[in-house]
Amino acid sequence: MAIFMIGTQRSGSNLLRLMLNQLPGIAAPHPPHILQRMTPLLTAYGDLDQDANFEQLVDDVCRLVELNPVPWDGVNLDREKIARASRARSLMGLFETVYDEAAAAQGAQTWCCKSLANIHFLPAIESHFANARYIYLYRDGRDVALSFRKAVVGEKHFYHIARDWAQTQRLALTMESNIGADRFFRVKYEDMVEEPEAMMMRLCEFLGMEYHEDMLNFHQSTEARRAAESSDLWGNVTRPIMRGNTGKYLTEATEADLRIFESVAGSVLDQLGYPRSVVSQGSEEHYRADQIKLFDSENERLKRELIASTAGDDIERRDRQSGFLSSIVARQQSAGDELLSHLDR
């Protein structure tokens, strides 16, 4: 059984991942975002039925995992073994095999991928995996926006965050209606932090696994320590669950920011049962192109400020993967230029 966590970042996904990783039957390593990062590059590998092309993709996927900011402890990605074990000569096949290796290294029967961006690859996932299970983790989008404001990743302006958050939740809710409750489970962040034991018991029942009290001791695990040491983004995971870490937008967000968020994503807040605070239904503002252009400029300024204030070693760990992906693009461009040169002769 393959398990996929879907939703939006800054919604408690690392907390949930670490709790799931405490179950003996599940491996939930920190995600290298294989599908999100490699899919845009895939066509340049050519026909994967050709050994050289497939072997190059195998090596690149494995290297991406090896450069992950949070290492996959004890996982040895033997390229020849991965290539042989993949049940499909495809990126999805390699993704599955690499995660199978993570589960085997941990002595687990299955795995959970925490890459929330997998929501954008649902047709391919559904086509490859029989009876995959999905955990939809969601949080009040206004608190998500506040969290993104402080994070080195993601958008920074409430307009952009609200737009992306609303789109992702709509995808998840549509998926829920298409797949059904037997393979789709909702985890509301606010319930997870206020009543973690009850929520984890329900989740374990959905997964067909026995609840283990160690799930709530995630903060004492080696995996939590490794995550916290890898980035300030995950510094809180070595602490117990922070009850009351909800509704922060009520005191920390400006009315202007809330008006933007609720104008853009108010209908989704309604669907998920979150009360509005400043914009009543039917009173949403509709932003003109010139206003959005100003939002874009402010968004980029806020991003630059966050990067400038982020610790160098945190940036360096992220740059390892980014630099590697850039090298793949450069390699592919060089190969294309060489082919064009040969054809011009």
Q: Strands (DSSP E) along 91-183, which ranges?
A: 110-113, 133-138
Q: pLDDT tens for residues 68-94? A: 999 999 999 999 999 999 999 999 999
Q: pLDDT tens for residues 3-51? A: 999 999 999 999 999 999 999 999 999 999 999 999 999 999 999 999 9
pLDDT at site 231: 76
Higher pLDDT, 141 or 334: 141
Question: 225-231 contacts: CB < 8 A, separation 24 or more?
Answer: 226/30, 226/70, 226/71, 226/73, 227/14, 227/18, 227/30, 227/70, 230/30, 230/69, 230/70, 230/314, 230/317, 231/69, 231/70, 231/152, 231/314, 231/317, 231/318
Q: What is the mean pLDDT of the chain?
A: 93
pLDDT at site 343: 46
Looking at residue 100, its amino acid is D
pLDDT above 50: residue 54 = yes
pLDDT at site 308: 86
CATH number of the domain to which 54 belongs: 3.40.50.300
Query: 93: domain range?
Result: 2-344
pLDDT band with cut points at 50, 70 and 90 for residue 165: very high
**How many structural domains comprise the chain?**
1
pLDDT band with cut points at 50, 70 and 90 for residue 236: confident
User: Percentage of the chain surpassing pLDDT 70?
Assistant: 95
pLDDT at site 317: 65
What six digits make up the tokens of 190? 């606010």
Q: pLDDT tens for residues 289-322? A: 999 999 999 999 999 998 888 766 666 666 788 8
Say which residues have a Cβ less than 8 Å from residue 51's Cβ, sequence separation at least 6.
none
Q: Strands (DSSP E) along the chain, which ranges?
A: 2-7, 26-27, 110-113, 133-138, 184-188
